[in-house]
Amino acid sequence: MTALSVSTSSAASLRADALVIGVAKGPKGIVLAPGAEAVSEAFEGKLAEVLTTLGATGAEGEAVKVPSPAGLKAALVLAVGLGEAADGGYGLETLRRAAGVAARTLAGSKKAALALPVESADEVEAVALGGLLGAYSFGTYKGNGSAKEPVGELVLLTARKGSKDAKAAVERALVVGEEMNRARDLVNTAPNDLNPKIFAAIAQAAGKEHGLKVEVLDEKALLKGGFGGLLGVGNGSANPPRLVKVAYTHPKAKASLAFVGKGITYDSGGISLKPAGHNETMKCDMAGAAAVFAAVVSAKRLGLAVNVTAWLALAENMPSGTATRPGDVLKMYGGKTVEVLNTDAEGRLVLADAIVRAGEENPDVIVDVATLTGAMMLALGSRTFGVMANNDELRETLHTVAGEAGEQSWPMPLPAELRKGMTESTIADLANMGERMGGGLVAGLFLKEFVAEGIDWAHLDIAGPAFHEAAPFGYTPKGGTASAVRTLVRFAERTAAGDKA
């Protein structure tokens, strides 16, 4: 992974392959952002003019390279766009994306210095995290030399190097960045290399490394325990399901959180087979499990004073002679029965088992994370996840927390009238399908049926932003994005601080 360091050296004196500065759109052309003063001086005050000649506008996402003049130790100057000029400083997400653009653009370089506008500790963290995320590359299956290596080192230039809050900001960025990139690796791994058993082994290895308690229920334990949802979904696969518990406890914790993740390591749709064009990226259907796994490891590494348990509901949804059929009835963990009308609505079945199991430990809050419905993508697009909850305050808190963390979300309702379609099964307590319209909300209502009385619960449907198929932007690559990790970590931090508003 790309190394990260902090320096108080001047931009002019630091030796590096590239020196990154920020430029913005002003009323009369591009404006140099704070941090570029030494570079401008080396260009004898003509840097903005040179950049304009090369086509720079200061637009967000823009990156323009200029050979360095005498007076700079870096070989190259890279100007990244910050959007509209701002007198009061630039937003944290703007800084994250700018640093990400710089890191992506400089792939193949050994060392790059970031002279972006940073004054506060939050700005230090934003640039550090954006740079680490932008430098991400997944090359597991690439031949030698077929792709550029990520930038080797990012040096963050700031006058705050020695301050306690700046040091903590950089350390947090390192932890969150490393764990998000771990989640991205998991999502990007080919499904023949990541089945439920392998995923569980990865969790066990991480538990051993970081001092987390990990418990794995294999197919025999699941059968003995009556986990009908996980077993029903996994029945068609040669790779049996797993339920993995990854627990972090803190001696001073006053609250406990349960994060439940959908972990369908490949989703063919089962007997309700997905058509061609809809199954090629279904290795990403375990992104929810990857997110909660990364979040609990982050909580441990950050030493948060809150108990956090991740529940990874892992299965592979395949068609075969042993697969669950439309019309079958499953007895779920906890006793409810579910008529399966569509085997491609499998995520809610594995989550239901895990939610009931998580509720037995009486956490203060359960948050489940899942690439659950195409309906949510239709509603909110490919960059925004939906937030549902059985508690309005919790829903709004998670929406707020997501914004603080730099993730796009939107609060969604759970209309009582949509429950009716699921409860009209003539042979079971529930059906796993309801009304077609509002399908994302119907899925949320289904999950709500399995939440124990008195426990606050929220559901994050990350079907849109979990896997990015378009061109990279900001710090977001093609493929796995680690959607919801930052939201969960920030929520855990606020809970540890006693802040529930």
Per-residue pLDDT of the chain (501 residues; tens, 9 = 90+): 899 999 988 899 999 999 999 999 999 999 999 999 999 999 999 999 999 999 999 999 999 999 999 999 999 999 999 999 988 889 999 999 999 999 999 999 999 999 999 999 999 999 999 999 999 999 999 887 667 899 999 999 988 666 788 889 999 999 999 999 999 999 999 999 999 999 999 999 999 999 999 999 999 999 999 999 999 999 999 999 999 999 999 999 999 999 999 999 999 999 999 998 889 999 999 999 999 999 999 999 999 999 999 999 999 999 999 999 999 999 999 999 999 999 999 999 999 999 999 999 999 999 999 999 999 999 999 999 999 999 999 999 999 999 999 999 999 999 999 999 899 899 999 999 998 899 999 999 999 999 999 999 999 999 999 999 999 999 999 999 999 999 999 999 999 999 854
Other C-beta atoms within 10 Å of 70: how many? 5
**Model's pTM, two decimal places?**
0.96
The pLDDT value given to residue 146: 66
447/349 Cα distance (integer angstroms)? 8
Distance of CA 413 to CAs 383, 421, 442, 487, Å? 19, 17, 10, 19
Contact assessment for residue 3 and residue 133, using Cβ atoms and an 8 Å cutoff: no
Residue 145 burial class via C-beta count within 10 angstroms: exposed 0-12, middle 13-18, buried 19 and up = exposed
CA Rg value for the chain: 24
Strands across the sheet containing 337-339 = 329-331, 337-339, 430-431
Q: Which of 216, 209, 427 is nearest to 337 (CA)?
A: 427
Q: Where are the alpha helices (DSSP H) in 211-343?
A: 219-225, 228-234, 287-302
Q: Which of 330, 236, 244 is nearest to 286 (CA)?
A: 244
DSSP state of 275: P
411/458 Cα distance (integer angstroms)? 10
Other C-beta atoms within 10 Å of 27: how many? 7
* Residue 445 CB-half CA count within 13 A: 22
Contact assessment for residue 191 and residue 205, using Cβ atoms and an 8 Å cutoff: no
CB environment 307-336: b (16+ within 10 A), e (fewer) = bbbbbbbbbbbbbeeebbeeebbbbbbbeb
Contact assessment for residue 52 and residue 29, using Cβ atoms and an 8 Å cutoff: yes
Q: Which of 489, 492, 494 is nearest to 173 (CA)?
A: 489
Strands (E), 319-398: 329-331, 337-339, 365-370, 385-389
* Residue 263 CB-half CA count within 13 A: 33
191/216 Cα distance (integer angstroms)? 20
Q: Which residue has the tokens 């023949």?
A: 192
Distance of CA 28 to CAs 48, 49, 377, Å? 11, 12, 40
The pLDDT value given to residue 501: 46
Query: How many helical (H) and strand (E) elements, i.e. helices and strands, does the chain have?
Result: 14, 20
The pLDDT value given to residue 42: 95
The pLDDT value given to residue 162: 64
Q: Which residues pair with 242 in a beta bridge?
A: 314
The pLDDT value given to residue 224: 98
Length of the chain: 501
Catalytic residues: 274, 348
